[in-house]
Amino acid sequence: MTRNIYLAYFLSFCFNSVFWYGIWVLYYLKFTDYSGIGMIEMVMIVTSVVGEIPTGAIADLLGKKYTLMVAFLLRGAGEIFMGLAGGFIHLVSSVFFISLGYTFYSGAFEALIFDSLKQDKKEKRYSKVLANVYTIGLITSAASSIAGGLLYHFLPGLPFLATGTLSLMGMVGTLFLTEPAIDSIKFSLKNYLRQTKTGFCQLFQPALKLKTIRLLTLGTFFIILWEILGDSLVIEFGFHEQQLGIFYAVLFLVSAGAVQFTPMIKRRFGTMRSIDIIGFIFVLTLIISPKLGLILGGITTLIRMSFSQILKTITSDALNQGIESKYRATSLSTFGMLTSLPYVLTAVFIGQMMDILTARVFAFYFGLALLIVLIVQKLAFDRRQS
């Protein structure tokens, strides 16, 4: 199973070679406005929500290896189509295939890593291995972001074409994976339905319920930050297309270093306190957004991004440690669906509000909403524990 870990590092490189991180909003705005971006994002999230649970169960029943192969193929095809887009409908179609690819990847990738370690009785190393995976991905994203800014200058669609090419390379890499022989179940419709139900229930078992709810709450706000608000803020802070590539490179490199501190933070504060701390850091950086310019806006974005990666690692570790192997991918995909669902219902509204208020003012109210939710939730759970 050691080979799977090294291949996971390679797959992380391919999947995170995203050349359009710094310019995707600019590219979309060539064809639409913020409201249109909200509609595109809604298509993406609806696809993700509808596909998350079925693809998670498929990964558990048919195998993580073949699920990841399909993920890279769909994502690669969608990215190439995006690079050749000629209008709004092309953006929507491309996002559908890219998002479907992500649903196959979600859950299956981390489940493959954890089960590969578990088969060798090394699951305690998961947090460190996952931090390494994220570090590789973030460094890759940094390099590709710089290159993407240059590619966009020559031809706006090139960053997406390059991303699609690396995704297809990742598909080739999945051929060399070995499926972990842990808690395998024969595929049938009856087992599929049972798998889906039990995978959901795993998240809310007594030992994990409290962590799941807290992680879901912060994860929901994180999805909105990651998918539309954060990138829109960067543009409103004053970064132009060439600066964007360099800024995102710095963003990913600093985050790559920050995520390595995850095991230390978790040991020092524990899972629950770490979640609270990260949540209040998000709040602080958001509510001061209207007063920030390019430099301070860039610094707060960097802080938020770094702690977002730590949150992802803590979330994955907390869930994986409490879920049975045979339901792992299903449960992780279900968690992804639940965190994305609120965004499905609000994506168009968020786009409209940013058109009316600007992204920076919307971020202020978004931060206040998160603060209220965190306080109410903490008081409620602290009372329950006492």
pLDDT at 187: 45
Q: Where are the domains of the chain?
A: 2-179+191-385
pLDDT at 240: 75
Asked whether residue 21 carries a pLDDT value surpassing 70, the answer given is yes
Residues 86-113, mean pLDDT to the nearest whole number: 86
pLDDT at 385: 55
DSSP 289-356: GGG--HHHHHHHHHHHHHHHHHHHHHHHHHHHHHS-GGGHHHHHHHHHHHHHHHHHHHHHHHHHHHHH
Around Cβ 293, how many Cβ atoms within 10 Å? 9
C-alpha–C-alpha distance, residues 383 and 375, integer Å: 12
C-alpha–C-alpha distance, residues 180 and 173, integer Å: 16
DSSP state of 123: G
Residues 117-138, mean pLDDT to the nearest whole number: 82
**146-182 residue pLDDT tens:** 888 788 888 989 999 999 999 999 999 999 998 877 5
Asked whether residue 346 carries a pLDDT value surpassing 60, the answer given is yes
Chain-centroid distance, C-alpha 342: 15
Asked whether residue 123 carries a pLDDT value surpassing 90, the answer given is no
Per cent of the chain over pLDDT 90 is 23
**52-71 residue pLDDT tens:** 555 656 666 677 888 899 99
Residues 216-226, mean pLDDT to the nearest whole number: 83
C-alpha–C-alpha distance, residues 105 and 69, integer Å: 9
The pLDDT confidence band at residue 106, using thresholds 50, 70 and 90, is confident
**353-376 residue pLDDT tens:** 888 888 899 999 999 999 998 888
C-alpha–C-alpha distance, residues 77 and 315, integer Å: 30
pLDDT at 369: 92
Higher per-residue pLDDT: 325 or 300: 300
Q: Is it true that domain 2-179+191-385 has CATH number 3.90.1170.50?
A: no
